[in-house]
Structure 1
């Protein structure tokens, strides 16, 4: 960000303001400076220090920033206030309205040269695009925000990097998302940049892709580090997001009560912050916890609540993901027709570059429902589509199970060699959690 104009421009501004106020160069200079210094400054032949500009600004009755850059000081404050209003709009689930606010604020910040506020607006537009499922646009906004903050310390750039990683994750590019998150964590920790908010944001964001890749040990480690960092972090929204992400790892370790408690803490924080999309995601994850624990009635109730809230916020991609989880519970409760209808309704919201892992989950479940109805041709078609999506996404955690389902179907229909191929493919993905799926773990912060 350019903090001040060039000396000639500032000199002309000082002369104009002095003349408007009827002051002589001596009156402006006293008591700290000489009339000769003011004359040299007005001619643009000296670059005034911040101390000198503050003195002159005080004598002229203007703000330092207005004198140095020509911008009234209240402009930056007003922009930041309206950026906060846009953030609240997004938090209330009105992503499209928030996107319009952020776009207008970006243009205003750009017109006045406020680089920090431009970057903040770009981050906001990226978050709005994530909410509405426009992953390509989200990635573009986060990349631009990263460029605007290129000269800033790494902790300042972390939200943009995390945004890019999440957009790749939701698009099904799990390995690249993990690469972005882990390299940033490594750089922070090895460089001694132990910013609690930045580290918490990165560790919490890594849990989802770790789990989908089958790297359960790495996910558990990230969860433990996030929990250890939480008391140091100053942003309650970050802490709430962390509790929601950690719950999934706790569940994988069989710690159901702790997972539910973690989600309850997140829900309360989000309720206080009025972040409806994130609160809906808490209901979604609580439903997931109950479903894995066999409490299907409670799971259905939580997931229906999540789906209703996400439908209100028009967070299309998140709504579709929650719908897949609800459909799984409905199927397990014997409501297969309703489950299939729900899945077919949301499949159009996904593609290979947008929600690939959940699209694969929808096809997998439709395959199981088709098998139950003895429609083996449709079941095989759904399994093959799911397999293709998971292979491109690198979601090793789900591939082995899907290959088993496909192999069993092929064996039952007499295609033994094809079944063996499917089983072999599945065995190739049954690696030790957190080992061969990823490279070395990033350096850890000193806790």
Structure 2
């Protein structure tokens, strides 16, 4: 017998549908049952068999599922199709429209108690919130999705866990983001839950926080595992995301040509899948690679294209982050006034809870520009703000360089003891590479 609603609920439903159709209990019962049986069923005093419900459903002209569960026939299938359409709208860069669709679909899934579809809608809402930069809303949606999937195997909960981790990462909470990703990887690998898509999603997502924390060895290892898992993955968007993340570790190792090739693979997959925000992020990353390689004209062109694309998709936080990268290139090309104007325009989009690492980068660059114009007071203020943001985020990868800049400024202005303190702080971060994560590295997948 199928799981279904309580007899009282089914009884009220039968009575309502019978009355709407103008049928008597006798007409509904015949020829297989008696009016008394229908009366008992409508009163909720009898639990009808599947056979009886199928007979009654046929007389009422509804599907068995609608009578037993209160759902229109094929509702779950139809909801899944519309959830896929909402995902396509989000991929097209229309996050606000996608969020409106997901909200309506979530309400419908809740009405009919479709748990899996509720979780899918919540995951979609979380991704929309990430794109628009509403990190608190994103965390809330991912947490609700995780609770909704509470009784399912861990690989099914991985997208919600990863969403939570990314929300914390973008908010500048690098250590907690890494903790979430590492503990999930550890549980999957130690438990023998070697789902390629789940593992690939986690390894691709942990690379960014590792790099910002200065844990380059762990980032390189995560990239190695991700590349090994990619041939087993079923989702091409996931493979593209992996290539984009891996490019960052390759660049850090000085393997510029390989980083560019990895990014080209990601961009081609994103074009095929028509994922506009992700494709814009590829242009952003290519601009970064060109900048690191000293090709500033090409870097500026790529970053301007990324900014234009992100403005059209209304991905506010990502656009502001790309603007910081562009400002750095403009400064290096001698366009400091334009760079400062761009930075001042996006600083309001950041906070200590939203894009802290890029906010620090913006203050660092504004400090350098202020030093160039001999405004040491403004430069020091920007460096101190950047230092506070990076210390809170645990971004050891950038702290040492910033401490050197601040120390040099303090030394030039005659504050030797303060300069020595800044240098010592920087040396402390420089001498402990790869030790900023929580606990030992997670268990490895069997590759």
TM-score with structure 2 setting the length: 0.91
Instruction: Structure 1 unaligned segments of length 5 or more: list them.
Output: 29-36
Q: Does 1:220 align with 2:225?
A: no
Match of 2:391 in 1: 391
Supply the RMSD in Å over aligned alpha carbons.
Answer: 2.7
Partner of 1:134: 134
Determine the C-alpha separation between the residues in 1 that align with 2:39 and 2:263. Answer: 66
Calculate the TM-score normalised by the size of structure 1. 0.91
- Secondary structure of the 1:341 match is helix
- How many pairs are equivalent? 440
Does the 8 Å CA contact 2:162/2:202 hold for their aligned counterparts?
yes
Aligned position for 1:401: 401
Tell me the residue number matched to 1:32. none
SS of residue matched to 2:374? coil
Give per-residue Cα distances to partners, 1:337-368, cap 9 Å, x unaligned.
Answer: 11111111100100111000000000001111
SS at match of 1:429: helix
Q: Which residue of 1 aligns with 2:143?
A: 143
Instruction: Call closer, same or farther: CA 1:267–1:403 in 2, change over 3 Å.
Output: same
CA contact under 8 A between 1:10 and 1:44: conserved in structure 2?
Answer: no
Structure 1 residue 293 displacement after superposition: 1.4
Determine whether 1:92 maps to 2:92. Answer: yes
In 1, distance between residues paired with 2:329 and 2:26? Answer: 75
Distance 2:14 2:239 in 1: 48
Q: Is the 8 A contact 1:367 1:382 kept in 2?
A: yes
* Matched residue, 2:192: 192
State the shift of 1:8 in Å. 4.5
Indicate conservation of the 8 Å contact 2:394/2:436, yes or no. Answer: no
Q: Deviations over 1:13-67 (max 9, x none)?
A: 6797798895757758xxxxxxxx9999887655857x99789878987545324
- d(CA) in 1 for partners of 2:114 and 2:438? 40
Alpha carbons 2:109, 2:117 under 8 Å: kept: yes
Pair 1:280–1:357, CA change in 2 (3 A)? same
* Partner Cα distance (1:283, 1:338) in 2: 21
Distance in 1, Cα, partners of 2:240 & 2:55: 46
For residues 123 and 216 of structure 1, the distance between their equivalents in structure 2, rounded to whole angstroms, comes to 30
- Equivalent pair of 2:181/2:202 in contact (CA under 8 Å): yes
Asked if 1 retains the 8 angstrom alpha-carbon contact of 2:132 and 2:317, the reply is yes
Conserved in 2, the CA contact under 8 Å of 1:40 and 1:46? no
CA distance in 2, matches of 1:223, 1:329: 27
- C-alpha distance in structure 1 between counterparts of 2:120 and 2:26, whole Å: 37
Distance 1:142 1:279, change over 3 A: same
Matched residue, 2:416: 416
1:243-301 CA distances to partner (integer Å, 9 max, x unpaired)? 11111011111111111111111111111111111110011111111111111111111
Contact kept in structure 1, 2:179 and 2:438, CA below 8 Å: no
Flag the 1:19–1:264 CA change in 2: closer, same or farther, 3 A. farther
Structure 2: distance between partners of 1:284 and 1:96:
22
Q: 5+ unaligned residues in a row in structure 2: which ranges?
A: none
Secondary structure of the residue that 1:287 maps to in structure 2? helix
